[in-house]
Structure 1
Amino acid sequence: MRLEGIFAAAVTAAKADGQVDRARTRAHVERLLAGGCHGVALFGTTGEAASFSIAERKAMLEDLVGAGIPAERILPGVGLCARDDTLTLARHALELGCRHLLMLPPFFYKGVSDAGVAAAFAEVLERLPAEARVILYHFPKVSAVPITPEVVTPLLERFGPMVAGIKDSSADLDHTLGLVRAFPDLAVFPGADHHLLTVLQAGGAGSISAAANLNGAGSRKVFDLFKAGDAAAAEAAQVQVTAVRKAVEGGPLIPSIKALLALRLDDPEWRRVRPPLVELADDSGLAAAKAALANVETKV
């Protein structure tokens, strides 16, 4: 079955020494799942994946699964520049029961060809067991290595169901809808919450988004109303989701989300980010986000 639903691109709590704060991150994941998210994307862009080591990422995933969080509700980010590093994370996640993997392309070299990107993915896929399901991660603003249809098509032809979907973080609605039309059997997830309902209506799978850290319940409401066929109510619910996303993205996204979590939980430790990101100097830029979140359903 095609993967569907609302997945929060979970932020990662950090200790004063910069190491992963596993207890706070676990509690956050538990809140996200209890609050309506179908699952979480762990160590994606919003989770500051590139700032944490392979060992830290493996330990966090082991912590979550060991705490009883169903592995099938976790989408671990596994895409690194070196093939064998990607394989290390992917195999570890699969051994723990995480079938779906969120995979960036190798992102250090820029201006590479579609054939080169497809070959890099193929070298990983051919070394994974057939039950693995990979969500290709298109985020050209950050990676500068786009995942084009010319990358996806040969991978689908060669690996079939192992290529399960695409996360489109381009924030370009036309691009996302083009992927839905071009690959109707794939699970296409926008990273932009404000595109959720439009993409669902076109045949998309849901969303994998940063703002779901704060408003997963709102996105889940849109998803459920759409599935129930209540178009008017889904449109109304989408208005609230869009308002939260637009307010949150007014400043640096990851520090803003962490600052808002710190305020919501009355826990200043949540403000911490890993360099090169920096904490917000003050909360003066959060007024719109706080107003948009004032009536958001949440479980703390």
Structure 2
Amino acid sequence: MTYASSSAPPFGRALCAMITPFTEEGALDVAGARRLATHLVAEGCEGLVLSGTTGESPTTSDAEKAELISAVREAVGERASVVAGVGTADTRHTIALALEAEKAGADGVLLVTPYYSRPPQDAIEAHFLEVADATALPVMLYDIPARTGTRIAPRTMLRLAEHPRIVAVKDCSYDFLGTQQVLAATDLAYYAGCDEHNLALYAVGAAGCVSTVANAAPRHVRAVLDAFDTGDTALAARLQRRLTPLIDAMMAADLPGTVTAKALLASLGLPAGPVRPPLRAADPETTAGLRTAYDHLIADRPLPQGSPPW
């Protein structure tokens, strides 16, 4: 199989930004996390990103994050990469989480831009370099200015790319030109972090995607990349368009993807549980709309069952 990017992606191509399952009482559901991780990998996910935005990292404790990594690592073994979100607004805390993720069995760490304090570009660069120097794991930077208040400027990304352990970027910048500029000038493996960009970014040389929608439709998300890799770009486009109503329902409903993903997973009988405050559960009408979009996706010339499409 050939990849769209110039070299094999460091964490695979089709990654899921996995939700963190909780029990009905709100505790970490370790058994549920194992079951969901196993299901996602069996359905085609080549990597799982834990404790990111979709994984409710702001409301899980350091101990829960480490326990989640260990549980998922045990469940999937070496069949998929495990990338642990460790980014915080505090450099010292981020380093501590990165070291714990390494001990717990992660294959890499996801570092979000420090939020709230809105550091200038030189401080952002220093933060990432200090964390990358402190861990032996490869690093995926997470550029999501809509949530952090500050983006990683392309010129900063070019300098960060020189660090041997900074190997990838989860791109939610919504700056397609800036992304292409960095792709053209570095070997960074870019991953689309917004599902509507999965195919577009892959077509210009990205490594793959870190998908929230893959929590519910992992086979369909991966099928887009597989079709492109076989050279059937028309099929890839059709498959991406088939996903669009579900992407819209999950990611453009004025609700965080965590809320919509958990509502849909619960309706499918998969581990999810409640969201933690201040997030609130999706209402019945929203949940019904999510399930309708999912059912239409599955009913519209469904992917082959019994054997995976890759």
Does TM, scored on the shorter chain, surpass 0.5? yes
1:222 aligns with: 224
Query: Root-mean-square deviation (CA), in Å?
Result: 2.2
Match of 2:9 in 1: 2
SS in 1 for 2:216: helix
Q: Distance in 2 between matches of 1:235 and 1:289?
A: 22
The change in CA–CA distance for 1:164 and 1:209 in structure 2 (over 3 A counts) is same
- Residue in structure 2 matched with residue 292 of structure 1 by the alignment: 293
- Counterpart of 2:291 in structure 1: which amino acid? K
In the other structure, the counterpart of 2:86 is: 78
Q: Is the 8 A contact 1:77 1:103 kept in 2?
A: yes
Matches within 5 A, 1:57-206: 57-70=65-78, 73-110=81-118, 112-129=119-136, 132-157=137-162, 159=163, 161-183=164-186, 185-206=187-208
Counterpart among 27, 32, 36 of residue 44 in structure 2: 36
Which AA in structure 2 matches 1:169? Answer: C
Partner Cα distance (2:52, 2:98) in 1: 14
Secondary structure, aligned partner of 1:208: strand
TM-score by length of 2: 0.86
**Any idea what SS the aligned residue of 2:272 has?**
helix
**1:43-62 map, 5 Å:** 43-62=51-70
Contact 2:262–2:272 (Cα < 8 Å) also in 1: yes
**Identity within the alignment, %:** 30
- Is the 1:72–1:97 Cα contact (8 Å) retained in structure 2? no
Q: Counterpart amino acid of 1:147?
A: I
State whether residues 38 and 76 of structure 2, in contact with CA within 8 Å, keep that contact through their aligned partners in structure 1: no
Partner of 1:212: 214
State whether residues 140 and 146 of structure 1, in contact with CA within 8 Å, keep that contact through their aligned partners in structure 2: yes
Whether contact under 8 Å (1:72, 1:100) holds in the other structure is no
Distance (Å, rounded) in 1 between the aligned partners of 2:95 and 2:80 = 19
The answer for the alignment partner of 1:248 in structure 2 is 250
Give distance in 2, aligned partners of 1:101 and 1:69.
17
Summarize deviations over 1:244-277 as a string: whole Å, max 9, x none. Answer: 2012224213212111111111x6x734100110
Report the equivalent of 2:5: none
CA distance in 2, matches of 1:90, 1:65: 16
SS at match of 2:109: strand
Q: Scaled by the length of structure 1, what TM-score is found? A: 0.89
The one-letter code sitting in structure 2 at the alignment partner of 1:49 is S
Q: Equivalents in 2 of 1:135, 1:241: separation in Å?
A: 26
Unaligned runs of 5+ in 2: 1-7
Question: Are the counterparts in 1 of residues 154 and 179 from structure 2 also a CA contact under 8 Å?
Answer: no
Q: Structure 1: give runs of 5+ residues left out of the alignment.
A: none
The answer on whether the counterparts of 2:169 and 2:190 sit within 8 Å (CA) in structure 1 is yes
CA distance in 2, matches of 1:286, 1:53: 28
What is the alpha-carbon distance in structure 2 between the residues aligned to residue 155 and residue 172 of structure 1?
A: 18
> Per-residue CA shift, 1:74-95, capped at 9, x if unaligned?
1110112222322222223223
